[in-house]
Amino acid sequence: MRAVSPDFSNLYSKSALLMTQSKLAYFAAALAFSLALAIAFFACQHAQPTPTYTDAPAVPPQPTYTETPAPIGTPTPTSFPDRAALTAFYDSTDGDNWIINTNWLSDKPLREWHGVDTDENDRVVALRLYGNNLQGTIPAALASLTKLKILNLHDNQLNGQLPQALGSAPELVIAYLAGSNQFSGCMPEGFRNLWAESHDLFDLGLPFCGLTDGHRADRAALITLYNSTNGPSWHRSSHWLSEPTPVDFWYGVETDNSGRVVELRLAGLSGEIPSELGNLSELRLLSLGYELTGKIPYQLGNLANLEVMWLGQNMLSGQIPPALGNLENLYSLKLQSNQLSGGIPPELGRLTNLIILRLWDNHLEGSIPQELGRMPHLNELHIGGTNRFTGCKPRGFHNIRNNDFTSLELPFCNDDGTVP
């Protein structure tokens, strides 16, 4: 039997294959381990970043706010002063016993309170509670309604004094407070600024507060005028001599913001002009007609603020008072169509602001004062008609465009004022 020899070449090939496979497995495992380390390191770096340090403290995140609109029926902040004022008014005038007090003192918007009107900001602009059985007094707090334009409390049972602050309501234009109300004392000064057609204040029978000696002098002068010129027969004399109605409401009388008489316009007067009119120290315009007689009081020369004097078309007689030359603010003087006599006083030449001078149709005579030709602003001069002047016309009359010089039949004077 022949012995069989082992095949070492085949065995060697298998061993080499096994070794190759082992090496490949080793390298694969090493590669996987390295990759796992790299991934872990990368994740660790990003999970815990290295902090940076600064001297400034960290700023916490700021919250954001959004406005939530107020629910319907909630008062807006701007209405709070008005709401408080109306609440005080309600309490002071026995609001629980008003005829109608719907929604008063509720949380509803003020515009839903009976008699209250508001603007877009819920500010009160009108308060209308006439004939609503209001009893008591008007509180000073009502003056807090700074947007109030209309106040109508007519025909209630209110009494006491009117708050002075109410006269300072900056936008008030209409006020009705009379009727069955029984206020006492005096009216706030600020009520003087209301138009006569927009109030019934004269029916209250109250004087304005803050009367001075000047106010009393004005009233006394007007009373004298009424008595001297047959006041009861005037064409119109509304409220004249009504006590204690302020002169602001007397027909034909205009006053300034302080209540002083500044204009006097009356027609249908007969009798004489009283000298007391010279006490109207703030008077700016005087217009009286048309049946006045007697002389022009020289005291009218005391009216330092007078700008207009219209006494034309009456039956005034006597001479033109030289004292009228003191009226340095006068720009219009009309004395035409009277029965004035004598000459034109040269003192009128001092009226440097005079623009209009009408003296026609009187009984004036003599020479025309040269001073009239030197009045810088004189633009209208009518001195003809029934007057009978002699001599010549001042050369300065050349500059007066509106005139009636042709009726004078007089030449112009020489440069030295002499007759040619």
Residue 54 lies in a domain: no
Query: Can you say how many angstroms the Cα of residue 286 is from the centroid of all Cα atoms in its chain?
Result: 27
pLDDT (0 to 100) of residue 143: 94
pTM of the model: 0.72
Read off the pLDDT of each residue in 242-250 and give the average, rounded to a whole number.
85
Give the pLDDT confidence score for residue 32 in this predicted structure: 52
φ, ψ of residue 270 to 5 degrees: the values are -130, 150
The answer, yes or no, to whether residue 329 has pLDDT greater than 60, is: yes
Comparing CA positions, the residue from 243, 244, 245, 248 lying closest to residue 259 is 248
Whether 418 is covered by a domain: the verdict is no
Residue closest to 385 by CA, chosen among 409, 414, 366: 409
Q: What is the pLDDT of residues 378-415, one digit of tens each?
A: 999 999 999 999 999 999 999 999 999 999 999 999 98
Strands, E assignment, 261-338:
261-272, 285-293, 308-310, 317-318, 332-334
- 131 with 182, same domain: the answer is yes
pLDDT at residue 193, rounded to an integer: 82
Q: Is residue 116 part of a domain?
A: yes
Among residues 204, 236, 253, which one ends one of the domains? 204
Partnered with residue 342 across adjacent β-strands are: 364
Identity at 51, one-letter amino acid code: P
User: Which residue segment(s) compose the domain that 121 sits in?
Assistant: 77-204
Confidence band for 195, pLDDT divided at 50, 70 and 90: confident
CA distance 100 to 112: 13
Query: Residue 315: pLDDT band by 50, 70, 90 thresholds?
Result: very high
Domain match, 240 and 382 both: yes
Instruction: Kindly tell me if the per-residue pLDDT of 108 is higher than 90.
Output: yes
Please report, to the nearest 10 degrees, the dihedral formed by the alpha carbons of residues 138, 141, 147, 153 taken in order: -10
Together in a domain, 218 and 137: no
Domain-located, residue 47: no
Give the pLDDT score at 336.
98
Q: Do the strands 356-358 and 285-293 form a parallel or antiparallel pair, or are they unpaired?
A: unpaired
**H-assigned helices in 139-244:** 213-228
Cβ-Cβ contacts under 8 Å for 129 (sequence gap 6 or more): 98, 114, 115, 152, 153, 156
Whole-angstrom Cα distance, residue 39 to residue 16? 35
In the structure, what pLDDT confidence band is assigned to residue 242 with cuts at 50, 70 and 90? confident
Host H or E run for residue 37? helix 8-47
Taking every pair of Cα atoms in the chain, the longest distance, rounded to a whole number of angstroms, is: 195
Dist. CA 328–CA 305, nearest whole Å: 8
343 and 314 co-located in one domain:
yes
Same domain, 261 and 321: yes
Length of the chain: 420
N- to C-terminal Cα separation, the chain: 194
Same domain, 300 and 191: no
pLDDT band at 44 (very low <50, low <70, confident <90, very high): very low
Q: Indicate if the pLDDT at residue 21 is higher than 90.
A: no
Domain match, 232 and 340 both:
yes
Nearest Cα residue to 80 out of 113, 119, 110: 110
Confidence at residue 264, expressed as pLDDT on a 0 to 100 scale: 98
The domain boundary, picked from 177, 204, 231, lies at 204
* Position with higher pLDDT, 263 vs 68: 263
Q: Does one domain contain both 173 and 250? A: no
What are the respective helix, strand and coil percentages of the chain, to the nearest 5? 35, 20, 45
> In this structure, what token pair is assigned to residue 9?
């070449």
Q: Is the preceding omega at residue 244 within 30 degrees of 0, hence cis?
A: yes
Distance CA 267, CA 63 (A): 78
Considering only CA atoms, which of 269, 195, 184 is closest in space to residue 232?
269
Residues 218 and 324 in one domain: yes
Number of folded domains that form the chain: 2
Torsion angle defined by CA atoms of residues 271, 276, 278 and 280, in that order, rounded to the nearest 10 degrees: -110
Of residues 185 and 10, more confidently modeled: 185
Least confident of 30-39, 139-148, 235-244, 319-328: 30-39
Tell me whether residue 287 is in a domain.
yes
Instruction: Give the Cα separation of 145 and 250 in Å (integer).
Output: 31
Tell me, yes or no, whether 374 lies in a domain: yes
Q: Which residue has the tokens 């006269």?
A: 167
Give the per-residue pLDDT at 35: 53
Q: How many percent of the chain have pLDDT more than 90? A: 72
Instruction: Decide: helix, strand or coil at residue 199.
Output: strand
Same domain (yes/no): 363, 273: yes
Model confidence band, residue 31 (pLDDT cutoffs 50, 70, 90): low
- What pLDDT does 128 receive? 98
Summarize pLDDT for 334-350 with one digit per residue, the tens: 999 999 999 999 999 99
In a domain, 24, yes or no: no
pLDDT number for residue 356: 98
Pick from 20-34, 253-267, 324-338, 375-389: least confident: 20-34
Same domain, 198 and 217: no
For tokens 């700008």, what's the residue? 307
pLDDT in tens, 70-104: 444 444 455 678 999 999 999 999 999 999 999 99
Q: What is the mean pLDDT of residues 143-166?
A: 96
Q: Please state, in angstroms and rounded to a whole number, the distance separating the CA atoms of residues 185 and 247.
A: 17
For residue 95, the domain's CATH number is: 3.80.10.10
- Is there a domain that residue 38 lies in? no
Give the chain's mean pLDDT: 85
- Do 260 and 385 share a structural domain? yes
Among the candidates 155, 171, 204, a domain finishes at: 204
- Spatial contact of 378 and 333, defined as CB atoms under 8 Å apart: no
H-type alpha helices, 130-200: none
Q: Is 71 left (phi over 0), alpha (psi -120 to 50) or beta?
A: beta
